[in-house]
Amino acid sequence: MSATAQSLSALRRAGGLLNARGLSALASRSARAFSSPSAAASAQSSDDSAAPPKIVVFGGRGFVGSNVCHEAFNAGYSVLGLSRAGTPPLASGRWVDGVSWARGNALEPATYTEHLRGAAAVISCVGGFGSAEEQLRTNGAANVALIEAAKVAGVPRFVFISANIPNVPGIEALIGGYIRGKAAAEEALRAHYPGTGVALRPGVIYGDRAVSTNITLQLGLVFKPLEMLLQRLGPETAARMAAVPLVGAAFVPPVSVETVARAAVRAAVDPSVPGGVIDVWELEAAAQRMGAQ
Ligand SMILES: NC(=O)c1ccc[n+]([C@@H]2O[C@H](COP(=O)([O-])OP(=O)(O)OC[C@H]3O[C@@H](n4cnc5c(N)ncnc54)[C@H](OP(=O)(O)O)[C@@H]3O)[C@@H](O)[C@H]2O)c1
């Protein structure tokens, strides 16, 4: 049995769930490597009675969250995307119909505890800016509430999209609520999911960002060349350069939204990924290991 098939089996034992749409979508999917249906398909063929594990994605309508839903769906999981509106994102594709969408406000556990039942993992892409108070609430309190609710519901793994905070003097005055919020959420993750909670810390995330039904910002045009340039330095040198005050921020590599999504799904489903932090320097390798399975 492959490592990924074992992961799927373990997660199934933790509690799988599949809706009818998910089942028919799974049956019709074509093969792709890990982040691909092949993992689920091969595991499925060895045990046809088992349903794919359920992954709950908070912030599923957002830029990162919608890509996480897409990635998890393609990998063959039963995916539930939650947001305050409860509607699908501004995106099109078969995966949008294959994912289930529901309403849930992270700050109000009563709106989503039922959706956590039987979930094998939660991935939180909840976060944002605004006033200092809003930053603290959205990045901190909302995620702490999610982590605590998932723990109470018995969800075995939790992945949180945190952030790499650049070494820029005065940044605390600018986005102090964001920084403290991320730290509070990471602390709650350590406390409640010491071995199975994973925080990803990307820097700038680039990719196609839909801002309306017919306008998409192609952020990769700006950031992809910079990412390639910094990759030539190697992760260790780039990390040392990034530690230099002020100019160091320029050496934090941007990362594609697909890489973040792949690393997040892997951290959610692969029991061999230990609890802790995957920082910006390690994201590419974490996502590649997933593709290699
Ligand atoms: N984009 C980047 O460059 C970048 C870089 C580093 C880290 N990150 C982190 O990655 C995560 C996702 O960022 P993003 O760029 O995808 O932002 P985004 O598009 O604004 O998505 C954020 C999501 O958070 C959800 N949300 C906010 N408050 C919520 C609440 N109380 N309950 C439920 N959902 C709530 C929003 O959902 P609804 O409004 O639909 O309910 C939205 O979908 C954030 O934590 C961010 O800090 C992003």
Q: Which atom from ligand 1 is nearest to the alpha carbon of 206?
A: 3
The answer to whether the CB of 85 is under 6 A from ligand 1 is: yes
Q: What value does the mean pLDDT of the chain take?
A: 82
pLDDT at 23 over 70: no
The predicted structure's pLDDT at residue 8: 43
* Residues near 52 by beta carbon (within 8 Å), at least 6 away in sequence: 8, 12, 16, 18, 22, 26, 40, 44, 76, 77, 78
The predicted structure's pLDDT at residue 222: 64
The answer to whether the CB of 63 is under 6 A from ligand 1 is: yes
CA distance 31 to 35: 10
Asked if 109 contacts 151 with a C-beta cutoff of 8 angstroms, the reply is: no
The answer to whether the CB of 126 is under 6 A from ligand 1 is: yes
The predicted structure's pLDDT at residue 291: 53
For 3-7, 31-35, 146-150, 197-201, which range has the lowest pLDDT when averaged over its residues? 31-35
Q: How many CB atoms lie within 10 A of CB 76?
A: 29
Q: How close is the Cα of 122 to the center of ligand 1, in Å?
A: 15
CA distance 157 to 142: 18
Asked if 91 contacts 210 with a C-beta cutoff of 8 angstroms, the reply is: yes
Best CA proximity match to 179, nearest among 108, 129, 122, 252? 129
pLDDT for 120-129, tens place per residue?
999 999 999 9
For 14-23, 39-48, 242-251, 273-282, which range has the lowest pLDDT when averaged over its residues? 14-23
* Residues near 151 by beta carbon (within 8 Å), at least 6 away in sequence: 158, 192, 193
The answer to whether the CB of 59 is under 6 A from ligand 1 is: yes
Instruction: Judge: domain 3-206+257-292, CATH 3.40.50.300.
Output: no
Query: Residue 58: which pLDDT band, with cuts at 50, 70 and 90?
Result: very high
Best CA proximity match to 238, nearest among 227, 224, 246? 227
Q: Which atom from ligand 1 is nearest to the alpha carbon of 89?
A: 40
The predicted structure's pLDDT at residue 4: 39
The answer to whether the CB of 55 is under 6 A from ligand 1 is: no
Q: Which residue ranges make up each domain of the chain?
A: 3-206+257-292
pLDDT at 15 over 50: no
Over residues 238-243, mean pLDDT: 80
Q: Whose CA is nearest to atom 5 of ligand 1?
A: 204
The predicted structure's pLDDT at residue 16: 33
Q: Write down how long the chain is.
A: 293
The predicted structure's pLDDT at residue 69: 98
More confident residue, 276 or 39: 276
> Which residue type, as a one-letter code, is found at position 230?
L
Q: How close is the Cα of 104 to the center of ligand 1, in Å?
A: 14
Q: How close is the Cα of 247 to the center of ligand 1, in Å?
A: 27
Q: Could you tell me what percent of the chain has a pLDDT over 90?
A: 60
More confident residue, 188 or 172: 188
Q: Whose CA is nearest to atom 12 of ligand 1?
A: 125
Name 159's bridge partners: 123, 198
